[in-house]
Amino acid sequence: RKEVEQDPGPFNVPEGATVAFNCTYSNSASQSFFWYRQDCRKEPKLLMSVYSSGNEDGRFTAQLNRASQYISLLIRDSKLSDSATYLCVVNADTGRRALTFGSGTRLQVQP
Amino acid sequence: NAGVMQNPRHLVRRRGQEARLRCSPMKGHSHVYWYRQLPEEGLKFMVYLQKENIIDESGMPKERFSAEFPKEGPSILRIQQVVRGDSAAYFCASSYRIQETQYFGPGTRLLVL
């Protein structure tokens, strides 16, 4: 089983749509959670951290369910510029400092 | 304040040659991480270094791969006797402190012919 699992997609949605991505992680000791965005052939960029209480940043809302080991990202009012791969990322408190990445969910927003 | 810098951005090597990838962290950052991304896959951790020390190399292949982060100069990821399977994008990230946000460089795309 992968440490971080995501639906690879692609999710093809029209502009203005609301789209949700889910992610599950296997290590219950995980402490920090993030969503990164990666454009084609570019580096990952931090989109937002994910907190237990849930958090929102403009059109983006992230949720964490520790009991189910589940993370979600909701994008409202999709823009063409949101087209990218969204990476679910976890940092386990095992002494390792490394981030563990999911394989990503590809989003294509269409006009 | 420049971000994380990596060079070269693209590197072509023939099987058996050596590849050297360089990473300069953001100013003030002393923690460096190397990740590898194979085509159509997620990033996989390779090694974590602080100045002059390898802290965690649990993701590094046992042979041919080595990394350093000297007191002066960039961090270097070195791959000896490259094989076609080494073709990938290699990303470096840096952070100011442990467990703080990691910022990624633009990556080096290695192609082994």
Tens of pLDDT, residues B14-31 = 999 999 999 999 998 999
The sign one gets for the Cα dihedral A44, B50, B61, B99 is negative
Q: Which residue has the tokens 């633009």?
A: B106
Query: Which residue in B52, B104, B54, B103 sits closest to B73, CA to CA?
Result: B52
Alpha helices in B1-113 (DSSP H): none
pLDDT band at A94 (very low <50, low <70, confident <90, very high): low
* Best residue of A43, A89, A96 to probe chain B, by most B CBs closer than 10 Å: A43
Residue A57, pLDDT > 80, answer yes
Chain A residues close to B109, C-beta within 8 Å: 41
Say whether residue A97 is in contact with chain B using an 8 A CB cutoff: yes
pLDDT of residue B101: 84
List CB contacts (< 8 A) between B58 and chain A.
Answer: 96
Query: Can you give the pLDDT at residue A93?
Result: 61
Is residue B1 pLDDT above 80, yes or no? no
Q: Give yes or no for residue A1 having a pLDDT over 80.
A: no
pLDDT per residue as tens digits for the range B53-99:
999 998 999 999 999 999 889 999 999 999 999 999 999 999 987 76
The answer to whether A98 faces chain B, any CB pair under 8 Å, is yes
Q: Are strands A105-110 and A11-14 parallel, antiparallel or unpaired?
A: parallel
Q: How far is A43 from A49, CA to CA, in rounded Å? A: 17
Query: How much is the pLDDT for A95?
Result: 59
Q: Which of B43, B105, B107 sits opposite A101 (nearest CB)?
A: B43
Contact B45 A98 (CB under 8 A): yes
